[in-house]
Structure 1
């Protein structure tokens, strides 16, 4: 009777320990979630930062063009040129640094040099009715800023996918470690029970040795899984721009599929639409040359070629100039045709990208359906293993089952549970890919 009571206690211990052994027992350190890495990656990405600076630069360039085409240009010009001659008018040869009409001399021809040049002028140039030109030149810059903003959005989207994929990979590594720990805990508890059966001569010493061998195998596997986890966490830090080598515990992740964007403008194709608009804006700039351009000019100051008359040669002048292209070999028409052809090219890229992403989303949806079916199979297998283990425990207590059979079933059940959770991780990767293309 006491012996049966002893077997009953051992059986209850075996059942409870096997159940508890599948749950990690060690307390986990504070967890760090995905958003920490995403935020850091967005802030440290050089591509994103570069395009942000490009937007600021485009705004300043637009202000410069507005000043160029609408504001007056005021310049100060100064010239002093000496052209002395050697005059022979009054007999002999004598130098004359600023001749007033010599007829016989050596030196530059006075009709060409005027004996010198003395200028000190303030010039003012003011474009007339030129605001439309400033707007035309500023439009490509505004579109360039929108393109940079689209590139920032795409860059952030790419970073989010890469970092999230790496985060899921780290969770997979940690899952391997956790399930190895679970199996080691089961084997550790199992060893205590097997040892008692060996001491009671109900099991052989070789059964205890088998448990020890299996535990050593799992410890070796755990070292590899832990190394992979640390390696992938460090890579996650590198992708996120985080300078940290301490070990962290990552929070679980549960991604959901975003609603289908349908026929809405995709973030992948927005760039092509903006590129097409940029071509149109460049065509508008090209056509500005066919519109008349009036420019008001004025100057004032000193302007003379005869040094002694400088005090009397201060004055001013003003005028208007016109530039109007009337014919240039039909360049306007040819450039318009070129613009239309290039716009067709961007349209082709846009349609190709839309079709490509539609196919990719449908492919991922199909993979997710297949994955759900596989998960159902795993659940059925786990239920079957649990039933077999309950039967094996009874046979083990009665000495009718070798310990190796029991260990094999425990290993298989843990492996199936691990594979089921790894399949859940693959499901997260597929959802992340779907959300990437559904943007």
Structure 2
């Protein structure tokens, strides 16, 4: 009858051992989830911020080109050029700022300089029927903005995968700490039971020493796991652009596989399609040189070369100008062939990316099937260990089993549970990789 309280305690102990690894030591801090870190990384990534700035710059450049090819250019020009001479007509020597027709003089040839130049003009240059040119020149920047948006989405996708992978590693470290805490709690209760048995001469002092050795071993393991957890959380903060060095508790994460998109256009291949369109836009711009370009030109103001006539030399002029390329050695045809060849390269990249990502997704599905088979084996092993522990419990209470055998089985079961945990973490990493390529 005196052994019944110890039997009850040992039964409780074994029940804890069967649930080893399921205990959770919760920190008294608020949890942070994956969304918090992903959003922080998106907001602080310098690459993403630079791409957003490029989008704004491209939009402004498109507006500038619209103004260049459709709006009038109004300019104010002025010039005052003096070409004085020294007249030697009639044997004299007389300086003249504006000669009235000297025959013998020293200075610039009056037929060339005309005595000087005096201008003050307002000129207007208005492109005619140039709206199609404005659209053509702005199109590359419109496409550049679309490419920039694609790059931003791809960058966000890369950031999300990197942060999620690191988050999974942190959870793996944290669960290892929790499993070790559960085992230490079990060892502490087991030590109390063994100590009572030693005091009652039912077990040897060496049995208690074995329990203490195993407890110290688990404490050392916990230090390593806790160090790894802190290291990986700080790395997670660095990836997310956070300066916080506080070690926090992370919320659980259970990723699900997205439906397979199949061999279709994806976020990885949209860039190649846009690059091909950008080449076509450049070809359109190149071909604009073969279209006639009309401009209306006009100016008004002062324009004279003779200073005394300045008050009567105010006027204006107006007209049109034409530029039309008729022949340049078939450059138009050669450039079109070049554009077509480069577009073929982008098509090759696109098809390769589609095929490559399809193979990667199939590889990951195969690895996931292998992991699920191994997890099933681990579950069977854990069930076997539970059966052995139930048998060992009876033998231990009857003094027929050394404590080392019991500890060994408990350690083995914990090791299997830890391996199952690592497999589950790998499974989450594979699902994250599948969703990354299935985008």
Tell me if both proteins adopt one fold, taking TM over 0.5 as the criterion.
Answer: yes
Q: Deviations over 1:53-104 (max 9, x none)?
A: 1111111111111110011000000000000000011321110011121111
2:43 counterpart of 1:11: no
Q: Secondary structure at the match of 1:372?
A: helix
- Corresponding residue for 2:316? 316
When residues 33 and 300 of structure 1 are mapped into structure 2, their CA distance, relative to the original with a 3 A threshold, is same
Deviation at 1:47, TM superposition (A): 1.1
Q: Deviations over 1:372-424 (max 9, x none)?
A: 10010010001000010010011011111110110011111111112112211
Q: Secondary structure at the match of 1:90?
A: helix
Q: Secondary structure at the match of 1:95?
A: strand
2:105 counterpart of 1:102: no
Partners in 1 of 2:329 and 2:163 — Cα distance?
55
When residues 81 and 6 of structure 1 are mapped into structure 2, their CA distance, relative to the original with a 3 A threshold, is closer
2:27 counterpart of 1:28: yes
When residues 63 and 14 of structure 1 are mapped into structure 2, their CA distance, relative to the original with a 3 A threshold, is closer
- Corresponding residue for 1:291? 291
Q: Deviations over 1:203-253 (max 9, x none)?
A: 110110011011111111111110010000000000001110011000111
Deviation at 1:14, TM superposition (A): 3.2
Contact 1:272 1:347 in 2 (8 A): yes
- Corresponding residue for 2:307? 307
Partners in 1 of 2:362 and 2:312 — Cα distance?
88
Partners in 2 of 1:356 and 1:379 — Cα distance?
35
Q: What pairs up with 1:165-180 in 2 under 5 angstroms?
A: 165-180=165-180
TM-score (norm 1): 0.98
- Corresponding residue for 1:257? 257
When residues 22 and 340 of structure 1 are mapped into structure 2, their CA distance, relative to the original with a 3 A threshold, is closer
Partners in 1 of 2:167 and 2:189 — Cα distance?
33
Partners in 1 of 2:276 and 2:10 — Cα distance?
76
Contact 1:81 1:118 in 2 (8 A): yes
Partners in 1 of 2:387 and 2:75 — Cα distance?
96
Partners in 1 of 2:19 and 2:176 — Cα distance?
18
When residues 37 and 320 of structure 1 are mapped into structure 2, their CA distance, relative to the original with a 3 A threshold, is same
Partners in 2 of 1:22 and 1:171 — Cα distance?
14
Q: Give unpaired runs (5+ residues) of structure 2.
A: none
When residues 283 and 425 of structure 1 are mapped into structure 2, their CA distance, relative to the original with a 3 A threshold, is same
Partners in 2 of 1:293 and 1:13 — Cα distance?
94
- Corresponding residue for 2:58? 58
TM-score (norm 2): 0.98
How much is the aligned-residue C-alpha RMSD, in angstroms? 1.2
- Corresponding residue for 1:246? 246
Q: What pairs up with 1:36-435 in 2 under 5 angstroms?
A: 36-435=36-435
Contact 1:18 1:189 in 2 (8 A): no
Partners in 1 of 2:157 and 2:24 — Cα distance?
38
Q: Runs ≥4 in structure 1, deviation > 6 angstroms?
A: none
Partners in 2 of 1:297 and 1:75 — Cα distance?
11
Q: Secondary structure at the match of 1:243?
A: coil
When residues 21 and 331 of structure 1 are mapped into structure 2, their CA distance, relative to the original with a 3 A threshold, is closer
When residues 260 and 347 of structure 1 are mapped into structure 2, their CA distance, relative to the original with a 3 A threshold, is same
